[in-house]
């Protein structure tokens, strides 16, 4: 079978399509032919070995598990002798969790694992996008003991965990305030949020509102900044950041506002619960780009731009031929610079091609910009090649 594999940690370029041995189900397992899978935050983090401590679980020098991917939807291809809940041809969805292996054409899963029959009327792409965000959000909200009438703010409400959190919080009867960017306001409203805050226009920590629970669904906020927006006895729930483990212990002993950091222990029963919500019309998966499995690098780029990325059949390994660069065509103040598309440079025999993840501005850049201390050659000979300038300027 074909699978997306990696043998070293690094950027998306370490991923490649390869023929690997097709798994054979044991007596209590089902063999699933995968029709759709996803790329999650965990996939990207483990591929890049970030944080570094993850290497102690996935392999110090190289990854032990060559195939990433946990969410999946597909069709049962074969069943073990002891399997009674599934039959060949059944459409299923679920998650392999930390076993991974879903970025392939086939995967074996135990009958008792987090797998269930696909909800009626749901596409494979939608079903594949259910479990990761929803199970994370479900575990967090249950740990917070969210109740009817309580006020919850969800930061990062347009992501995988955030969209799930909005819908599940409404199911539990909470009053939901959702925080996202301008382009996702209508999406989040359609999921049932009572109020929506555009973080590009307003800082929710400064509007005087307080909440019983603040759920950071993207791991980009902090307890320190949110503390003033919590009611007495309020709870802050992060989804990332090892420093929060220290705050869990600290706030459990000091103060009246707590940090909880739930460890996901989702079960098959939780997947069946989500299936019931979907079939009752109380939950829907949010799917944005649907891309070929071979476009792993493109999926990672989509994630960094704030969208959930979805990979599908393995048949494409296209790579971008252009890059973004900050250029200038004349001497002068900083205003002469502009962000433009530029041709991706070719590599000669004695060169390496570096993907720039960070750059700096030093005195030599300023002197070159205004034409000091350098021969006055045509500015086009010294165009800046700083790639992926992300609004620093």
Distance in angstroms (rounded) separating the CA atoms of residues 177 and 43:
29
pLDDT-based confidence at 300, cuts 50/70/90? low
What number of residues does the chain have? Answer: 393
In DSSP terms, 33 is beta-bridged to 75, 106
**Distances, alpha carbon 280 to alpha carbons 45, 121, 161, in Å:** 34, 12, 20
**What burial class does residue 310 get, using C-beta atoms within 10 Å of its C-beta: 0-12 exposed, 13-18 middle, 19+ buried?**
buried
**Distances, alpha carbon 68 to alpha carbons 10, 41, 42, 303, in Å:** 14, 11, 9, 16
Region of poorest pLDDT, from 163-172, 271-280, 326-335? 326-335
In DSSP terms, 259 is beta-bridged to 236
Question: pTM, whole model, 2 decimals?
Answer: 0.73
Q: How many alpha carbons lie under 13 Å from residue 350 in its C-beta half-sphere?
A: 0
Q: What per-residue confidence (pLDDT) applies to 371?
A: 54
pLDDT, tens digit, 9 for 90 and up, residues 202-234 = 999 999 999 999 999 998 899 999 999 999 999
Mean pLDDT of 67-78: 96
Domains and CATH numbers, the chain: 2-129+287-311 (3.90.180.10), 133-259 (3.40.50.720), 322-382 (no CATH)
Distance in angstroms (rounded) separating the CA atoms of residues 206 and 50:
32
Answer whether residue 381 shows pLDDT above 70.
no
Distance in angstroms (rounded) separating the CA atoms of residues 190 and 167:
10
**Distances, alpha carbon 189 to alpha carbons 9, 157, 183, 194, 318, in Å:** 39, 10, 12, 7, 35
């Amino acid at each position: 079978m074909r699978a997306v594999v990696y043998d070293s940690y690094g950027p998306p370029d370490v991923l490649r399509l390869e023929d690997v041995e097709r798994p054979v189900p044991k007596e209590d397992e089902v063999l699933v032919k995968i029709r759709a899978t996803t790329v999650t935050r965990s996939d990207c983090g483990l591929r890049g070995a970030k944080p570094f401590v993850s290497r102690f679980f996935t392999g110090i020098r190289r990854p032990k598990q060559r195939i990433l991917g946990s969410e999946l939807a597909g069709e049962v291809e074969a069943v073990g002798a002891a399997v009674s809940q599934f039959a060949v041809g059944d459409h299923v969805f679920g998650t392999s969790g930390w076993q991974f292996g879903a970025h392939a054409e086939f995967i074996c899963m135990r009958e008792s694992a987090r797998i269930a029959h696909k909800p009626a009327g749901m596409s494979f792409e939608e079903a594949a996008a259910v479990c990761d965000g929803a199970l994370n959000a479900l575990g967090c909200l249950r740990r917070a003991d969210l109740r009817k009438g309580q006020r919850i703010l969800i930061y990062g409400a347009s992501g995988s965990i955030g969209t799930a959190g909005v819908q599940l919080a409404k199911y539990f009867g909470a009053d939901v305030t959702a925080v996202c960017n301008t382009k996702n306001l209508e999406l989040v409203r359609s999921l049932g949020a009572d109020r929506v805050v555009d973080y590009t226009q307003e800082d929710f920590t400064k509007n005087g509102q307080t909440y019983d629970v603040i759920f950071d669904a993207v791991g980009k906020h902090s307890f320190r900044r949110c503390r003033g927006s919590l009611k007495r006895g309020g709870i802050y729930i992060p989804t990332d950041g090892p420093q929060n483990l220290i705050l869990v212990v600290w706030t459990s002993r000091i103060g009246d506002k707590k940090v909880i950091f739930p460890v996901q222990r989702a079960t098959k029963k939780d997947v069946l619960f989500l299936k019931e919500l979907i079939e009752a019309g109380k939950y829907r998966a949010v799917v944005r780009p649907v891309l070929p499995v071979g476009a792993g690098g493109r999926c990672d780029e989509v994630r960094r731009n704030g969208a959930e990325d979805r990979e599908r059949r393995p048949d494409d390994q296209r790579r971008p031929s252009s890059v973004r660069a900050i250029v200038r065509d004349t001497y002068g103040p900083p205003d002469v610079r502009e962000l433009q598309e530029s041709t991706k440079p070719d590599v000669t025999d004695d060169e390496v091609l570096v993907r720039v993840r960070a750059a700096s501005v030093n005195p030599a850049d300023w002197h070159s910009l205004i034409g000091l201390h350098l021969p006055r050659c045509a500015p086009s000979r010294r165009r800046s090649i700083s790639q992926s300038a992300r609004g620093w300027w």
